[in-house]
Each structure stands twice: as structure tokens, then as C-alpha cells.
Structure 1
Amino acid sequence: MTMAKGANVELHAPAVRVELGRRSGPGVPDVDASALLLASGKVRSDADFVFYNQPTHPSGAVRYEGRTTGDGTATDTLHLDLARVEPAIEKVILAASADGGTFGRVPGLYVRVVDAADGTELARYDSADATVETAFVLGELYRRQGAWKFRAVGQGYDTGLEGLATDYGITVDEPQHAPPPAPLTKVTLTKSAPTVSLAKQGGTSGALRVNLNWEVRKQLGGRAGRRARGLDLDLCALYELTDGTKGVVQALGHAFGSLHQAPYIHLDGDDRSGGLATGENLTVNLDRTDAFRRILVFVTIYEGARSFADLHATVTLRPAHGAPIDFSLDECTVPSNVCALALLTNEGGDLTVRREARYLVPDRGVSPQRTVDRAYGWNMNWTRGRK
């Protein structure tokens, strides 16, 4: 059901999923979704602000479920259990903020509300008139005579997330008499300093997003250039759980995994652009760190190139809480089509991240997956698969 700005509709569902989507690509700002729970027009505390760094409301009624990408689109998802929303909450604002540009540069921006039980679309609003806004209220869910309704809003702020937050009563500045805490800074892993503790970076809960992006270093002509433009890299993960279960998460064989049940790892989609805003993305549920023994993140070349030579790739691990971790891959000097990126190991309840950046060369007739399995001792049985 597509709606005009200002229109409203009653929601006949006890729980809904809200999707804030847009098209992605070069030059498009990154967009983050959020929800604000209001009582008398304001949040009661900063806990009523749900977003990627605070993904679950204390009541459990609203949670941020992460981002999916693919086919030139990106979608952030919020889950709202309307039956569990506290009686004091009168309205839930559905908002988004843009990083690196304005919403006038975000094509195909929309909000969609579906029944969480069966996926039936209940409401949709497509925004087409954004200009200089850097924060945007796409819609709102509100109570009216005992029922929940959705209204298409489509209003923004040119003062960014700070302006939106202040408008709804969220504390932005620290008290003048208290010195701000020292922020955690981004960690770049290198050959000489290859490991870091996620806990020391503040990454003890929520979602850990692993992003791989790349570009071709050389402008190749002719046939080689066409292969470069059609390059398809696949981000994958071998996992071993504490109960002994082993497996792989990858696009091949449509083994995309699951975030909220074993293996608690989910591959967002299969991207061919390599852009920073999209690339290949893998999400790990840090709320289930206790279930992991080890996770090996690796990348294979599915098509478009014979090796990683002439590619410039960067890996970023971004925990929901805490500072990001990143590293670049070394120049490839061997005929490798599979590279071990990072090894996450459970050490006393804390996941330690170790930079691998290790190019592997499969023996003749041996798949990239089997090659990385042998190198790291997973000892799994492999069969042929396809996308």
C-alpha cells in the first residue's frame, strides 16, 4: 500500500517489521536507521533511542535487526512488537541519518511496514522530495483509540542526527563540569601488531559487521579490463561452535546463515561493486559469543579474475558498541584465488581478532573452500555448489 505524505493507515498486526531502504552506489551517502520511543512528545531517557549502537530497547519491544545489501540496494530493518510497547509510549518515530552527504543524494528512499508474521505489506511511503536534509523522519507509528496506526511523515533536518535528537529530548552534550570519557579509537591491524581483543574495543554485545571492499588498482584494457569490471568476490566464514558443530557461511549453495539461531553468523548478500557503502558484508551476533569456538573469515574469487593481483582490498570489522578495526590486504604475488582474512578465536569469553591476510594457492582440482579448510584444520566434507 503506497501512501502520500501525511496519509495514515491502521495496522492490523500485533508485531511489524519496518524496512528503511534506498539504492546504493558510488557517491551515495551511508544511511543509518533509528527509532525513537516518545512519551508526551519526548524520549524519557536516551534508552528510548534505538539504533545500531543501541540495538534493543530495554522493554524488548523495539530492536534494530541490522542491514542487508544486494543488487544495488541497502535496507535497514527494525522489528516492533506493538503488543509489548509500554503504555506510556504514545509514538515511535522512524528516522534515518545520512553520513557523508545529504538525503537529496540518496535515491529510492522509502519506508515499508510489513506484518512480522507473514510479510504482508501494510504500508509504504516513498520519499521523493529530500534536498539538504542530513536527518530524516520517514514515518511514525502512533496509538489512536487503542489501535496502532502508521503515518507517512517525510520531514527532515539540515542539522543532522544531533538536531533530530535534540528535538526529541535526547542528551547530546556531556555536562560542562564532567570531562568526556576518552573515546576508543579505530585500530588498524598490521603484520607487526596483528591481534586485538574485541572486548578491549568495547565489542561485547550486539552485531559485529565485517565489510570487505575493493577496487582494481590498474586500468586494464581489452578483455582483461572487461573481466575486472565483472569481478565477483565472495566473503565467506568457516565456523566452529563450542558444541562441536562446524560449517560455512557463503553465497555458494545459498548458505547465508542466520543471526538469531546457529550459527549466529549471517551473510547479507552477494555484491559485485566492491564499494565502501556496500561491498560484501557479514554479520556476527556478539550476544552469542559463548556459542563460538572460532570463526575464520575468508574471501574467494568467484569470477572475473584469476588471482588477487592488482586488487586493493580493505577489511573493516565494526562492532555495534566500540571502535572499528580495519586492515588492508598485502599485495598478492602468487596465483591465489582464495585469501584468509581474519581469525576470531574465543579466549575466555572474549573474541580475539587476528589479521591473517594470507593468500592461498589451491592444488590442481581442489576448490578454494577445501584449500582454506586444509590450511586451518577444519576437516569438513565438501561437495560442489552453485549460486
Structure 2
Amino acid sequence: MLKGANVRIPAQVVRIELGWRTGPGVPDVDASALLLTSGRVRSDADFVFYNQPRHPSGAVRHEGKRSDGAGVRETLTVDLGALEAAVGSVVIAASADGAVFGQVPGLHIRVLDAAGGAELARFDSRDATVETAFVLGELYRRQGQWKFRAVGQGYSSGLHGLATDYGITVDDPAPAPPPRATAPAPPPRATAPAPPPRPAAPAAPASRTPAARPPEPRPVPPARPVKVTLTKAAPAVSLAKQGGTSGTLRVNLNWQMVRPAAVGWGQRLSQAMAGPTALDLDLGALFELTDGTKGVVQALGNTFGSLHRPPYIHLDGDDRTGAVESGENLTVNLDHAGAFRRILVFVTIYEGAASFAGLHATVTLQPQRGAPVDFLLDECTVPSNVCALALITNNGGDLVVQREARYLVPRRGVSPQRTLDEAYGWGLTWTPARK
């Protein structure tokens, strides 16, 4: 499986195997599972690992690890049918003992049918570097069925940092008491001879119980993917690498008008924008699905789309202010990422100006479970009323965001939407509409 891809799990009970190759300098790795409700654990009991190997419900168990000389396998068993109804997902994570995952070769996760041993899913992690903990995969409910998603999101703060991110309380170790001041030693004096030593008591038999592992160091805040600002020099980013592999992706456009310099056609535009009509920008998206379906989501014609059925894109509303708190918002359902072939996010001027000249705008793409991606629109230097903002394409199951920031100038009598269509080869048929 590729990062971000998902597959249906038909088995009732699955065995999760975390594996890697051994060798000189390869650290030990520990697997764990977190049972989540609305993205967080309900209590520390929802964390299953080597020191807490069984969930109270009995649905998730840590079975230990085995080595065959060339590799190591650590196993967890998940009874999907026995999971409580409140549990929406089970995250499978790993932590490296005192090292980073860039030193762990062949790291992978397999989902097996516990009854017959058939492999249902496999994800190989190939891009680890400085991470000391990883979310490798996630079992999650979707419309009454269980699915597995390849995640591959890393942390630099170990198992405790990852656990804290999902709502587990991590107790900080108590500080060591300060050393007591020592009084100077008294001068030597004569003493009576010391009594002979008593015979030592017989040693207690060694305990057969394995020693508990020492606690990990105090965790630092978990290393989340950092915000990415797209530029002309670095115009693209993978949503999966930003942690945006599920949930929703909100695309926000907010703006502020600054009158352009009073030269040439810009002077005439500034005069036009000084009128009483408020500037009304419309955010929209052209979409193409993997089944060949094409269309548009926009306020014009009241084609606001849908989040939970095709095209899995929804325009939240029609804003006329450009305020940072609201602006225009478009939402994409990343749980159906596999249904998208490409999405072109665009903005048009509905009324209030003849061009984007003087527009200061920011585009922000905020995944529900990841870090934001944003970019500024370049200054408009052509008489344009339609701008292609970002192109989102499906690259082997991973959605890649490409900054466009491309101002287009329609031919006389041609609508902004048709101009956009022709520039990107969408091939739709357009008819007049109002909102």
C-alpha cells in the first residue's frame, strides 16, 4: 500500500505484525495500539503496549515479539467485532528505543486474518529519518465496515510524546532532592575495637518475574508536521506528509482590497472599485473523479456540492467580506481521497471590481488531522477576473497540492469559468447562471 491508501478489512479478528530487519546499530522497536473516540483516548486504559498488554474490553492484546535472526516481528491482535461501539479507530504506532527510525531498516506493518493467516494489507515505511515514534497505520470504522489506512506519520518525541498527542496523561518524574550539606569530618580519636561482623543472611531466591522496563525520559511536546508556505521556488507539497490523510481538508480564501497605483488601466480600476458595491469573490472548484465524472462546485447556480456523496466537495457558503475569521471556505472529504483524480480550486469576481488588481489575499489549506499549507496570491498585473489558486492531484493515492496563483484574462464574451476550463482542459459545457 502507498501512504494514505486504504483497504476494506473483511476479517472479524486481525493480527497486526510490525516487522523490521536486525543488524549492527539497529535499535529495538516497540509496537502499541491506541483506541480512539473522536480522535482521542477516553482514558489511559485505551493505550495497549508492553507494560499494559491487554485492553479492559479484551478486544486488543499485545502478544509480544519474536526474532528469527534476520528480522523481528511484534504482534498485536485486534478483535474488531468485540470493540466497543464508541471506538471509532485503532491507531497502530511504534517507538524506537533510544534511537531514530532512520536506523531501522525494512520497517513495515502487515494486517493478517487471524483465522487463516491471509495477508489483508501491508505498508512499508521508506522515508523515516529523525523520528523516534511512528503512526504506521489505522483501523477505522466507515459505514458499518472496518478499513485499514496506511499513515506513516512520524514524531521526534518518542512513545510518550505520541501518546500525549492522543490525550494520554503522562506523569512527569519527580525531581531528585537536592544534596544535603555535609558537615566537616571531626578530628580522629581513639575508639574501642569494632565487634566482629555478623554472618550474612542467606540471599533471597531470584525473582522469576521479568524486571519492568525503565520509564522513558520526560517527553517533549510532540513533533507535528510544520506549516508549509508554498512559493514559486517550492510550489508543491504532499498532504500525506503534512498528516492530511483522513478527515476533511478546509480551503479558505480571505482578502483585503488595496487600491492599485493610479497608472494606466489600474487607475480606471481603482476608480471602479471605489464605488458603493462591495467586492464579492466566489471560491469554487472544478473536479474530476477517478470514475470519469467531472463538474464544478460554486455559488453560481447554487451548485454547492456535497461532502458525504460525490463529488465529496462542499462549498460552505458565500462570503462577501473576506474576513480572516470567515472568508470563502471549501471543504474536501479526505476519507474519499481515492475518488479524486484532480481538483482545481479557483476564485472569480462576481461583482464589485473588474479585476484582481489591488487584491491582497491568502489561501490556506487546513487538514483536519495535519498541519496547514498556505500561500499568498501574487500581485495581479493583468485585467483578470478569474484566478486558478491550487491544483490538487492524486499521485498514487497521495494528494499533492500545487500552487497555481494564475490570473487568466477571458476573451470577449467568454465567462471566467469557461476560460478556466479551456486553460486546464476540463471539457465541460457551460450555461449562464446566477446566484
Please give the range of the TM-score, normalised by the shorter of the 2 chains: 0.5 to 0.7
Cα distance in 2, alignment partners of residues 230 and 386 from structure 1:
17
Q: CA RMSD in A?
A: 3.1
Contact residue 384 and residue 408 of structure 2 kept, 8 A: yes
Cα distance in 2, alignment partners of residues 293 and 382 from structure 1:
21
Is there any run of 5+ residues in structure 2 with no aligned partner, and where? 1-36, 47-83, 88-163, 173-216, 261-268
2:235 to 194, 214, 227: 194
Give the match for residue 397 of structure 2.
349
2:244 to 203, 210, 214: 203
TM-score (norm 1): 0.56
Contact residue 209 and residue 318 of structure 1 kept, 8 A: yes
Q: Name the amino acid aligned to 2:420.
A: V
Q: Name the amino acid aligned to 1:319.
A: P
Cα distance in 2, alignment partners of residues 318 and 351 from structure 1:
13
Q: CA deviation at 1:184?
A: 1.3
Give the match for residue 206 of structure 2.
none
1:262 to 310, 323, 332: 310
| Larger Rg belongs to | 2
Give the match for residue 273 of structure 2.
224
Contact residue 46 and residue 170 of structure 1 kept, 8 A: no
2:324 to 265, 273, 276: 276
- 1:137-152 to 2 correspondence within 5 Å? none
Post-superposition CA distance 1:188-213 (Å, at most 9, x none): 00001000000010000000000000
Post-superposition CA distance 1:48-98 (Å, at most 9, x none): xxxxxxxxxxxxxxxxxxxxxxxxxxxxxxxxxxxxx9599xxxxxxxxxx
Secondary structure of 1:196's match?
A: strand
Contact residue 211 and residue 315 of structure 1 kept, 8 A: yes
Q: 1:224 to 1:345 in 2, by over 3 A?
A: closer
Contact residue 358 and residue 379 of structure 2 kept, 8 A: yes
Cα distance in 2, alignment partners of residues 374 and 214 from structure 1:
26
Cα distance in 1, alignment partners of residues 293 and 352 from structure 2:
33
Q: CA deviation at 1:44?
A: 3.4
Q: 1:223 to 1:356 in 2, by over 3 A?
A: closer
Does residue 321 (structure 1) correspond to residue 369 (structure 2)? The answer is yes
Contact residue 174 and residue 180 of structure 1 kept, 8 A: no
Give the match for residue 178 of structure 1.
219
Q: CA deviation at 1:180?
A: 3.9
Secondary structure of 1:300's match?
A: strand
Q: CA deviation at 1:177?
A: 2.4
Query: Percent of aligned positions with the same letter in both sequences?
Result: 67
Cα distance in 2, alignment partners of residues 218 and 174 from structure 1:
56
Cα distance in 1, alignment partners of residues 283 and 45 from structure 2:
35
Give the match for residue 255 of structure 2.
214
- 1:290-309 to 2 correspondence within 5 Å? 290-309=338-357
Secondary structure of 1:287's match?
A: helix
Q: 1:365 to 1:277 in 2, by over 3 A?
A: same
Contact residue 206 and residue 321 of structure 1 kept, 8 A: yes
Give the match for residue 44 of structure 1.
43
Q: 1:178 to 1:363 in 2, by over 3 A?
A: same
Is there any run of 5+ residues in structure 1 with no aligned partner, and where? 1-35, 48-84, 89-165
Cα distance in 2, alignment partners of residues 170 and 208 from structure 1:
22
Does residue 286 (structure 1) correspond to residue 308 (structure 2)? The answer is no
> How many residue pairs get matched?
234
Q: Name the structure where strand makes up a greater proportion of residues.
A: 1
Q: CA deviation at 1:223?
A: 6.0
Q: CA deviation at 1:298?
A: 0.3
